[in-house]
Amino acid sequence: MTEALSRQIWRFGLVGSLGFAVDALVLTWLVRVGDWGVYESRWLSFALAVTVTWGLNRRFTFGQQASRNRSREYGRYAAVQGLGALINLGVYAAVLMIWPVLAAWPVLPLAAGSGVAMLFNFVGARYFAYVPSA
């Protein structure tokens, strides 16, 4: 693995952690303070987290690859993130189906889903979302 690729992976993980924090804070605030429903809140918190991570990844992780067409790039990034969320949920559910005893420790299937989705999201961002305009 090259140093540049290692740096991208590290930055992608850091940005993802910040995105998780945005997601969690907005979700919690909307549910507890705004009296929103948990599902309505989740849509908005996810959308805001995707927007924050798109901007940070565009600037700090994939700056050399950023497209001049920001709206197209954002659309591709959001599509990758949406698929990544489905993968995360699918792996989570599959792990729980295979090992039901893990329902007592849901963080373990959550970690499995997050790990697989992060790999997908990184590859999707690097090779699909952040590609220079032709």
Domain that holds residue 30: 3-129
pLDDT at 1 (0 to 100)? 82
Determine the pLDDT at residue 17.
Answer: 94
Give pLDDT, residue 106: 86
Identify the pLDDT of residue 101: 95
Quick one: pLDDT at residue 107?
85
> Would residue 134 count as lying in a domain?
no
User: What pLDDT is stored for residue 134 in this prediction?
Assistant: 52
CA-to-CA distance for 75 and 8, rounded, in angstroms? 21
- List Cβ neighbours of 98 (8 Å cut-off, separation of 6 or more): none
- 96 in a domain, yes or no? yes
First-last CA distance in the chain: 28
Are 78 and 61 spatial neighbours (Cβ–Cβ below 8 Å)? no
pLDDT tens track of the chain, all 134 residues? Answer: 899 999 999 999 999 999 999 999 999 999 999 999 988 998 999 999 999 999 999 999 999 898 899 999 999 999 999 999 999 999 999 999 999 999 999 889 989 999 999 999 999 999 999 998 65
Q: How many structural domains comprise the chain?
A: 1
